[in-house]
Chains A and B, each alone.
Chain A
């Protein structure tokens, strides 16, 4: 396999592990306060942490600038809004008949279907690529395994 791809796969797996620990810590905060407060605090701390990183890290964005000049779409700055909204929706559905397990399972399905559709149609600046049979099988396996785990834990 090509090295660049292998690296990105490894980074994606690291990102998933970081996400799991993050959710663990954020829900600890949410249990002592409220989901909304926890998300608000996490975003606030995140602003400070990313500001520190931006200041401390050497400027290395030059490589990314080799893109067509001109106005970058405004929506690309607004990724934080759907991200922040997530917490509110999750708080609503977890407290419904769906419970935590149902909410998690449906959120995973939503994410996977969105991912496939976003690639297939090339929306939001993604390169348009139809996932092949192997990719779909991989996604289905991860999804099934995740739902098995979620249901076994509930």
Chain B
């Protein structure tokens, strides 16, 4: 059990690592090209994994809706947006805002057309906590987020030293 707990935690760390790395590349090649690099490298890596260990995983069922194939298009948009934001807002703020919107959107998607139950109340309470968190995060005014975008793209070591007391 401890192994799986560590694996799941590690997975979260990997997600964060991936996004931070992309944010760094974004400063050089721009968010859209970063998205291309991310998907191309990921595709090659997964091709190797599948080719070497999971060749049986390639069966596809029938009757698939079209949108099931189009998640990758949204992935491109997501990686581009994320790579643009991370150098500007920092990793922790970006993560909390992205997770917040992700959870609220998934609640909206999930509860569409479903009857109200006792779980709905708990879910709405959770959503309220998230909204307060977003409000708090958005209203925090810090030096590092109040700079001009042009400067933001460049890691300024003077600024960085001042930001850490």
A interface vs B, CB < 8 Å? 1-2, 4-6, 8-9, 11-26, 28-29, 32-34, 36-51, 53-54, 57, 60-61, 63-67, 72-73, 75-90, 92-93, 96-98, 102-103, 106-116, 118-119, 122-132, 134-135, 137-149, 151-153
Contact = CB atoms under 8 A, between A and B. Distances in A.
Contacts of A110: 8-13, 15-16
Contacts of A147: 126
A67 B92 contact: no
Contacts of B129: 141-142, 144-145, 148
Contact of B12 (A9, A13, A109, A153): A109
Interface residues of B, number: 132
Interface string B6-46: 01111111111111111111111110111111111111011
Contact of A148 (B21, B28, B50, B122): B122
Interface in B83-116: 84-107, 109-110
Nearest to B137: A138
Main secondary structure on A side of the interface with B:
helix
A63 to B, nearest CB: 7
A128 B164 contact: yes
B138 A1 contact: yes
Contacts of B164: 128-130
B48 to A, nearest CB: 10
Interface centre among A16, A90, A116 (most CB of B within 10 A): A16
Lowest 10 A-B CB distances belong to which pairs?
Answer: A110-B12, A16-B101, A45-B72, A145-B129, A141-B133, A80-B42, A80-B41, A148-B126, A114-B16, A46-B39
B94 A80 contact: no
A61 B54 CA distance: 38
B16 to A, nearest CB: 4
Interface of B is mostly: helix
A118 B103 contact: no
A32 B61 contact: yes
Contact of B102 (A17, A64, A80, A131): A17
Given A51-B36, A97-B1, A134 B92 contact: no
B12 A111 contact: yes
Nearest to A87: B46
Nearest to B136: A138
Contacts of A78: 21, 41
Contacts of A43: 39, 42-43, 46, 72, 75
Contacts of B91: 114-116, 118-119, 126
A110 B95 CA distance: 11
Given A127-B144, A128-B164, A28 B68 contact: yes
A132 B160 contact: no
28 contacts: A12-B94, A15-B78, A22-B74, A22-B75, A40-B50, A49-B76, A50-B36, A66-B150, A76-B21, A79-B18, A79-B34, A79-B37, A82-B14, A83-B22, A85-B14, A93-B4, A97-B1, A108-B99, A110-B9, A113-B9, A115-B93, A127-B155, A127-B163, A129-B90, A132-B142, A141-B129, A144-B129, A146-B130
